[in-house]
Amino acid sequence: MAESITVTTPGLTSIQDLGRLRGSRFGQMTGGASDQYSADVANALVGSHRTAPLLEIVALDFGAVVSVDLLVAVTGAPAEVQVGGVTRPQWEPFVWTAGEELTVRGIHDGLRVYLAVHGSIAAPSLLGSCAPDSVLGFGRQLTVGESVAIDVDGPPIDHPYFRVPLFRLGAEPASFTGHWTIDVTDGPDVHEFGATAARLYDTPFVIGDNTNHIGLRLTPADPGSDVPRRDRSTEVLSRGVPIGAVEVPAGNEILVLHRGRGVTAGYPVLAVVTATALSRLGQARPGQEVRFRKVSVPEAVDGYRSQRRSIALLRSRVANAFASLRIPTHTDTTSTQHHSVPQMESA
């Protein structure tokens, strides 16, 4: 029988994955989970492939009922996660019991929560990804009463008497407290900004309201501060811009391009946000104050590899735990997007 998740409170929720690779050659945005780390960990915790579709719940409360006992994991921003009114942990897998409502309420500090399932979520694919693309009109937000088909191939295992966490797999939760420091490397056009480039690091910035998965707009926390300025006005031919590009258009704001960015632009790229900091920025709320910190490219690569290594270790713990309980894992995918297991040699 076809199993499904039926939405009771949709909030702002979509079916998401890690993004659409190789579409950029044809002018298509990459998209995908704005907090790639939390999405990756969510799928790792349930033994699903890292590019498997999962739910991205943004800012607002979410609720749904499932037709079959289902092993799930919820990561991302802190929130109150309950099944049938009983609180369940984030960053550890747990069983979502058939017929009971799972709710995610009061998302705070960050913006996005990820819900991954053990099994697979059916989702239409475009160029090898289910990631919504608002420009193409592909993918959509879930609506109340909507049923999302799921395929479950192994019974989940729960504590027979108590709703205590069965697993303690030790995923490293993303941090949402303290100062938000955003690491960036020098961009390819940093020389066009002369000494004003330093303003990126000297000035605290505030995330603007007009911020989304396409990009973030930031203004100096002190309105009297000036942003970096390009010291030339020559025409720039359109060229590919990396995700994370820090651009400085006219006016007193800076732009950070995120995963929904258009692939070409004519602005010089002052700096590029690191892959790990991009996940953090994917959780930034309007009004949040951030500071930029310059790191070298090798430091940025080390940081990302360290993050991926911790997820790989988590995956091996999950595989061992699941194997001992005879729960199947899904480390491969039929998706046309192939993500090889990263080589974890040192840089």
Partner 1 sequence: MSGVTSIRPHREFVLADCGDSAVRLTSLSPDAEERWQAVHAVAAALDARGDDVAVTGIIPTYDSLLVEFDCAATTHDAIRALVERLIELPAQPSTRGSRQFEIPVVYGGEFGPDLDDVAAHLALSPSEVIRLHSARPLTMRCFGSPGGAPMLDGPAFPRPVPRRTIPRPHVPAGAVAVAGRQAVISARPAPGGWPVIGRTPLTIVDPATEPLSDFRPGDTFLFVPITAAEWSTYEGVRHG
Q: Which residues bind partner 1 (CB under 8 A)?
A: 21-22, 24-30, 126-127, 133, 135-138, 184-188, 235-245, 250, 261-264, 266, 269, 272-275, 297, 300-301, 303-305, 308, 338-340, 342-344, 347
Question: Which CB, 70 or 243, lies closer to partner 1?
Answer: 243
- 15 sits in the region (left: phi over 0; alpha: psi -120 to 50; else beta) called beta
Question: Which CB, 24 or 48, lies closer to partner 1?
Answer: 24
Residues paired with residue 5 on neighbouring β-strands, in sequence order: 66, 148
Question: Which CB, 94 or 304, lies closer to partner 1?
Answer: 304
**Nearest distance, CB of residue 52 and partner 1, angstroms:** 17
Question: Which CB, 143 or 235, lies closer to partner 1?
Answer: 235
Contacts of 297 (CB under 8 A, 6+ apart): 185
- d(CA 280, CA 77) in angstroms, rounded, equals 10
**Nearest distance, CB of residue 43 and partner 1, angstroms:** 16
Bridge-based pairing state of the strands 205-207 and 215-220:
antiparallel
**Nearest distance, CB of residue 275 and partner 1, angstroms:** 5
Question: Which CB, 2 or 297, lies closer to partner 1?
Answer: 297
Query: Does the CA dihedral 287-288-292-297 come out positive or negative?
Result: negative
Among candidate residues 221, 220, 216, 223, the one with its CA nearest the CA of residue 284? 216
- d(CA 177, CA 175) in angstroms, rounded, equals 6
**Nearest distance, CB of residue 131 and partner 1, angstroms:** 13
- d(CA 221, CA 173) in angstroms, rounded, equals 28
Q: What is the DSSP letter of 331?
A: -
Question: Which CB, 136 or 319, lies closer to partner 1?
Answer: 136
- d(CA 26, CA 284) in angstroms, rounded, equals 29
**Nearest distance, CB of residue 31 and partner 1, angstroms:** 12
**Nearest distance, CB of residue 256 and partner 1, angstroms:** 12
